[in-house]
């Protein structure tokens, strides 16, 4: 089986988060997809097969260790792969627990894509949970930017978010991978998102992805959608769009553009460039 390797949310010819994309006439067993995702070794691989009707696809996502309900950067990679295979356009995607869409376009020597996320929701973290999270990352409460309070956020998958006052504290992110894996898996979390606000419409993020056996994701579209929904919930002055820079501290700078309406819970548009990898 040929697997396309595509970096999503790339910064020109550099950066982005690598994802695998595999097409099948009919999706194989979960065990087969899990093994292939492990062999590919990227944080996620998207598996797609055509459904009845024009531009309709069944999609599942696997990390090297587990199935993931929704993965943003793998969806962007899939959008680029569909544009390459089927032509520019909008594609309807049926996930395990949601129906979403992705728009794929050719763009010079590369591609661009935009996904529409599942609905979003959020809730604040209680003190017990916050203390456990701070302990995991070796952080103190006075390092938090409480203009964006700690929360559980959702946009097709569950994440925790912590906002930090200092860009240096974001750069210093560290945690024990095994402890992080246990913490996230017990709560059904896909990532923990650490955020630094440069200004109201530009954020720098790092996403711990121990649940998938990966220390950090260089670009996380699903968490970005969930974060956008959370900002909307707390009435952040987003002006219907903002930008996230992720992966800088890994040497894999990624650019994630986010567009949203003011309707509570509504789908988030997450877009970026994509490039084929060697």
Residue 204 within any structural domain of the chain:
yes
User: 78: burial class by Cβ within 10 Å (0-12, 13-18, 19+)?
Assistant: buried
- 140 and 231 share one domain: yes
CA nearest 72: which of 213, 223, 202? 223
Question: CATH no. for residue 163?
Answer: 3.10.310.10
DSSP state of 128: H
Asked whether residue 230 is assigned to any structural domain, the reply reads: yes
How far is residue 181's CA from residue 185's CA, in Å, rounded to a whole number? Answer: 6
Residue 59 lies inside a defined structural domain of this protein = yes
Q: Is residue 277 part of a domain?
A: no
- Per-residue pLDDT of the chain (278 residues), as tens digits, is 689 999 999 998 899 999 999 999 999 999 999 999 999 999 899 999 999 988 999 999 999 888 999 999 999 999 999 999 999 999 999 999 999 999 999 987 789 999 999 999 999 999 999 999 999 999 999 999 999 999 999 999 999 999 999 999 999 999 999 999 999 999 999 999 999 999 999 999 999 999 988 899 999 999 999 999 999 999 999 999 999 999 999 999 999 999 999 999 999 999 999 999 97
List Cβ neighbours of 142 (8 Å cut-off, separation of 6 or more).
Answer: none
- State how far the alpha carbon of 13 is from the alpha carbons of 9, 275, 276, in Å: 11, 7, 9
148 and 70 co-located in one domain: no
Same domain for 133 and 91: no
Kindly state the tokens that stand for 68.
């993931």
- Domain assignment present for residue 221? The answer is yes
Q: How far apart are the first and last CA of the chain?
A: 17
Tell me: do 134 and 239 sit in the same domain: yes
Tell me if 101 is assigned to some domain.
yes
Same domain? For 177 and 77 the reply is: no
Helices 127-137 + 177-187 axis angle, to 10? 160
The alpha carbon of residue 65 and the mean position of all alpha carbons in its chain are separated, in whole angstroms, by: 17
Whole-prediction pTM value? 0.94
262 and 130 assigned to the same domain: yes
Q: How far apart are CA 174 and CA 159, in angstroms?
A: 17
Domain ranges, residue 53: 4-116
The CA distance from 1 to 20, in Å, is: 12
* Number of domains forming the structure of the chain: 2
């Amino acid at each position: 089986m040929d697997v396309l390797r595509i970096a999503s949310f790339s910064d020109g010819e550099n950066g982005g988060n690598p994802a695998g994309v595999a097409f099948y006439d009919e999706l194989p067993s979960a065990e087969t997809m899990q093994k292939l995702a492990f062999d590919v070794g990227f944080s996620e691989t998207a598996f797609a097969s055509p459904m009845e009707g024009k531009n309709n696809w069944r999609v599942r996502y696997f990390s090297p260790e587990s199935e993931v309900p929704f993965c943003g950067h793998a969806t962007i990679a899939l959008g680029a792969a569909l544009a390459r295979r089927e032509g520019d356009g909008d594609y309807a995607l049926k996930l395990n627990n949601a129906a979403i869409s992705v728009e794929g376009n050719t763009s010079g020597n590369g591609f661009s894509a935009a996904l529409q996320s599942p609905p979003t929701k959020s809730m604040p973290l209680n003190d017990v949970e916050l203390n456990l999270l701070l302990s995991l990352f070796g952080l103190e409460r006075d390092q938090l930017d409480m203009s964006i309070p700690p929360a559980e956020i959702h946009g097709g998958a569950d994440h925790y978010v912590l906002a930090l006052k200092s860009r240096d504290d974001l750069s210093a992110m560290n945690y024990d991978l095994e402890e992080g894996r246990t913490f996230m898996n017990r709560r059904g979390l896909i990532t923990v998102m650490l955020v630094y606000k440069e200004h109201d419409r530009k954020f720098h993020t790092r996403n711990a992805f121990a649940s998938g056996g990966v220390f950090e994701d260089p670009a996380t579209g699903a968490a970005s959608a969930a974060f956008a929904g959370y900002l909307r919930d707390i009435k952040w002055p987003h002006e219907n769009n903002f930008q996230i820079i992720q992966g800088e501290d890994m040497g894999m700078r990624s650019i994630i553009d986010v567009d949203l309406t003011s309707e509570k819970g509504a789908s988030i548009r997450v877009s970026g460039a994509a490039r084929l990898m060697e």
